[in-house]
Amino acid sequence: MSLLITSSRSVLRQVKSYSVFQCPAIHEGNLSSVLRTLYRQSSTFCVGLPCCRSSCWSWQCDLQSSRHIGLWSSHQNTPTLKTVTDVAKFIKERATNVLVMVGAGISTPSGIPDFRTPGTGLYDNLQKYNLPYPEAIFDIHFFMMDPRPFFALAQDLYPGVNYKPNVVHHFLRLLYEEEKLQMVYTQNIDGLERLAGIPDTKLMEAHGTFATASCTLCGKMHNSNKVKQAIIEGDIPMCEATNCKGKVKPDIVFFGENLPPSFWDYHQHIHFTDLLLIIGTSLEVYPFAGIADAVGTQTPRVLINLNAVGSLGRRTTDVILTGDLEESVHSLVRELGWEEKLKALEKVYESKQINEE
């Protein structure tokens, strides 16, 4: 089956006149709702990108097997965003799928240092562990030789023990509550997005999580509460399988390990993304950083970070909000008119914490 969906009459005219493309079903109208329905229902599809020239079309059409659905959307009217006010207006009026990428910067207001900020970043403060190079703390080969530095760090960082979500995490939760959030892709292992209440279905912990743990030798899954207990008490959790002397590691993705397979779903998500929001990351680590480059060139990319990073700034559709990210998020929230809602969310979080204590 081939299917054409477009909200643009000119795209429709052009595609109709393009003889290779046979489209028995044409849907017009509310693009995002039709796309979302299709996305849920179809396992294979290909997507016609908004800016496709006819040279790309034949490539797209080649992909049209009998089971593929071709989606042609048009975002050609995307306004140029420049300021935080423009971004807020776009989110309020146009966006239902905000894709978010975050890194260690968003946890600094919670008191957790990031990795690469000179002086305060974790990689400048690992002398006590005597590592051959800073990244060794997250290197699987080094871990197999000496797991102690990682477990010492994990003892401090264990989610829900020493640190709590801050305004950025609550803002992401609010995006979800307001039905604007497509997904949060996080590189962080502090679990603060989960703690802020972003549901599993909207969260991709690309560099893994403490929520599960497994043996580094036999792969056996272990009870995460027991592993947590061992880590907090300063012990190294060992495998419980008979005859296995492996160390148990929380399922954090180390250098040299694969990302969770569902990470790669971003290739599908990006076709439905209205706006990409990148907060608090140096975009130095791939494949995570590749998401930013993969979104369509017509999709606005908004960076909230101390300084410009990655390829941000190279596209006319990019917006860069430099400076302290907590302040930028506050002004975005203000422009969105969400201040009261954010306060209410923070209150709910605090009272939930008090009840659980």
Which residues are near Zn ion by CB under 5 A? 215, 217-218, 220, 239, 241, 244, 246
Q: Where are any strands of DSSP class E within the chain?
A: 3-5, 25-27, 46-48, 70-72, 98-102, 181-186, 203-205, 208-215, 221-222, 248-252, 275-279, 301-305, 318-322
292 exposure class (CB count in 10 Å sphere: 0-12, 13-18, 19+):
buried
As measured in angstroms, the least distance from the Cβ of 148 to Zn ion is 19
* 217 binds, options ligand OAD, Zn ion, none, Cβ within 5 to 8 A by partner type: Zn ion
- On whether 51 is known to bind a ligand per the annotation, the reply is no
Residue 244 to residue 264: CA distance in whole angstroms: 32
As measured in angstroms, the least distance from the Cβ of 121 to ligand OAD is 5
Scanning 17-25, 29-37, 111-119, 230-238 for contacts with ligand OAD by CB under 6 A, the matching segment is 111-119
213 vs 291, beta carbon nearer Zn ion: 213
Among 68, 169, 207, 222, binds ligand OAD (CB under 6 A): 207
**Does 287 sit behind a cis peptide bond, omega within 30 degrees of 0 on the bond before it?**
yes
Interaction of residue 285 with ligand OAD, rule CB under 6 A:
yes
Among 7, 108, 273, 299, binds ligand OAD (CB under 6 A): 108
* 215 binds, options Zn ion, ligand OAD, none, Cβ within 5 to 8 A by partner type: Zn ion
Backbone phi, psi, residue 100, to 5°? -120, 135
205 vs 346, beta carbon nearer ligand OAD: 205
Return all residues near 234 (Cβ < 8 A) that are at least 6 apart. 151, 152, 155
Interaction of residue 175 with ligand OAD, rule CB under 6 A:
no
| CA-closest candidate to residue 216, choices 178, 182, 248 | 248
- On whether 52 is known to bind a ligand per the annotation, the reply is no
* 25 binds, options Zn ion, ligand OAD, none, Cβ within 5 to 8 A by partner type: none
323 Rama class: left (phi>0) / alpha (psi -120 to 50) / beta: left
- 222 in active site: no
Residue 65 to residue 46: CA distance in whole angstroms: 10
End-to-end CA distance of the chain: 56
Interaction of residue 160 with ligand OAD, rule CB under 6 A:
no
- Interface residues toward ligand OAD, by CB under 6 A: 103-105, 108, 114-117, 121, 135, 138, 187, 189, 207, 253, 280-282, 284-285, 305-307, 309, 324-325
Residues forming the active site: 207
